[in-house]
């Protein structure tokens, strides 16, 4: 009997989509982020995708100093692959967004592959009575957010981080983002195996219908052949259905409280580990196996945890 296919689980521990008032389980302080990441890794996540927050009010914090405390704890207690965001928050400049990954030189960094409208405002109606901080209301009500990722911005991140051996989780929110990535492949600035994270269900990007998932997969297959590893991110209630679909189609999966704060209809997830366990059950129910950190490193051709700066 052939060996079961290995599926990489990425866990996005905390991020810029949800704000602290939306869920008491969203990690905010450095110690909470570290414990959440370690718990997710112990549950089966080979990769942890990390943002930092101001411990006082939970707003996104993209200073390298904000990352340092939890990066060191995670490395001491886990061999998981650390993926540092270069997305930060859509209100930040590209110079702000790249600094943590440039400083700490992780094995992986996220890279958004195109500019887009970023619509968080539909969440305001659901959560407006629970918001505790003024920045949350201002941020969520803004219908004018443009998440800037120009060709120059992308090239700057590729060359800045690539010089340190960092590889990328290419976040593609729409079909055009796949073509943008193909441009950089053709220009020789990116080499395979590419780790492509197709993102579904965030307002401003492609939807979360199964046809949308199939379309992105077909397009990536045509553009990149066998030189990429495909993963999916389903926002909100789409998280597990899209993960199940992708796993069955040969892909990898991303879950976590950055992308969805839910464990079921009207039920808040109590931890990142809970979501990892849920998607692991789906993966193993399909007769597949969860990839270990070292197996993920091999699949993604990463430099190794001993070659980071934290």
Predicted structure pTM score = 0.97
95: left (phi over 0), alpha (psi -120 to 50) or beta: alpha
- Per-residue pLDDT of 145-162, as tens digits, reads 999 999 999 999 999 999
**Mean pLDDT calculated for residue range 251-264:** 97
Write down the pLDDT at residue 2: 74
What is the overall mean pLDDT for the chain? 97
6-307 CATH: 3.20.20.70
**Contact call for residues 20 and 264 (beta carbons, < 8 A):** no
Write down the pLDDT at residue 45: 99
Residue 63 to residues 33, 103, 170, 263, 278: CA-CA distances in angstroms?
15, 10, 22, 31, 33
Write down the pLDDT at residue 1: 62
Phi, psi at 167, each rounded to 5°? -105, 180
Ranges assigned E (strand) in the chain: 6-7, 9-12, 47-50, 81-84, 108-112, 116-117, 146-147, 167-172, 194-200, 228-234, 252-255, 262-264, 267-268, 289-290
Residues 6 or more apart in contact with residue 25 via CB below 8 angstroms: 257, 261, 268, 269, 270, 271
Lowest-pLDDT choice from 51-65, 71-85, 124-138, 177-191? 124-138
pLDDT at 130 over 70: yes
- Residue 126 CA to residue 26 CA, distance in Å, equals 17
188: left (phi over 0), alpha (psi -120 to 50) or beta: left
Residue 221 to residues 171, 182, 186, 297: CA-CA distances in angstroms?
16, 12, 16, 22
Angle between helices 272-285 and 239-248 (to 10 degrees): 30
- Residue 83 CA to residue 75 CA, distance in Å, equals 12
**Mean pLDDT calculated for residue range 269-286:** 98
- Residue 178 CA to residue 183 CA, distance in Å, equals 9
First to last CA, the chain: 41
How many of the other CB atoms lie within 10 Å of CB of 23?
16
pLDDT at 4 over 90: no
pLDDT at 240 over 80: yes
CA dihedral (39, 79, 169, 143) positive or negative: positive
Confidence of residue 232 (pLDDT cuts 50, 70, 90): very high
Write down the pLDDT at residue 187: 97
What residue spans define the domains of the chain?
6-307
Structure tokens at 140: 């969520």
Nearest to 205 by CA among 176, 169, 184, 162: 176
Query: Length of the chain in residues, anyone?
Result: 310
- Residue 201 CA to residue 235 CA, distance in Å, equals 5
**Mean pLDDT calculated for residue range 127-147:** 94
């Amino acid at each position: 009997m052939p060996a079961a296919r290995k599926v990489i689980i990425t866990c996005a521990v905390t991020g810029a989509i949800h704000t602290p008032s939306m869920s008491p389980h969203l990690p905010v302080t450095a110690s909470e982020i570290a414990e959440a990441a370690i718990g997710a890794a112990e549950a089966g996540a080979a990769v942890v995708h990390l943002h930092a927050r101001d411990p006082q009010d939970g707003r996104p914090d993209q200073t390298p100093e904000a990352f340092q405390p939890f990066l060191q704890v995670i490395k001491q207690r886990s061999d998981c692959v650390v993926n540092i965001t270069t997305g930060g928050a859509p209100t930040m400049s590209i110079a702000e967004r790249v600094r943590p990954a440039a400083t700490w030189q992780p094995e992986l960094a996220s890279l958004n592959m195109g500019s887009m409208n970023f619509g968080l405002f539909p969440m305001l109606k659901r959560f407006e009575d629970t918001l505790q901080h003024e920045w949350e209301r201002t941020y969520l009500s803004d219908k004018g957010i443009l998440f800037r990722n120009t060709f120059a911005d992308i090239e700057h991140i590729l060359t800045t981080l690539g010089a340190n051996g960092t590889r990328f989780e290419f976040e593609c929110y729409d079909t055009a983002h796949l073509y943008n990535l193909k441009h950089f492949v053709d220009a020789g600035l990116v080499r395979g195996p590419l780790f492509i994270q197709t993102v579904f269900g965030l307002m401003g990007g492609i939807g979360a219908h199964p046809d949308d998932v199939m379309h992105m997969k077909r397009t990536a297959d045509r553009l990149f052949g066998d030189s990429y590893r495909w993963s999916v991110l389903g926002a909100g209630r789409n998280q597990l259905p899209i993960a199940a679909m992708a796993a069955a189609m040969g892909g990898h999966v991303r879950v976590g409280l950055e992308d969805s704060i839910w464990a079921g209809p009207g039920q808040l997830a109590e931890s990142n580990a809970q979501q990892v366990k849920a998607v692991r059950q789906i993966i193993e129910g399909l007769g597949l196996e969860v990839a270990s950190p070292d197996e993920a490193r091999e699949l993604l051709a990463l430099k190794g945890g001993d070659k980071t700066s934290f």
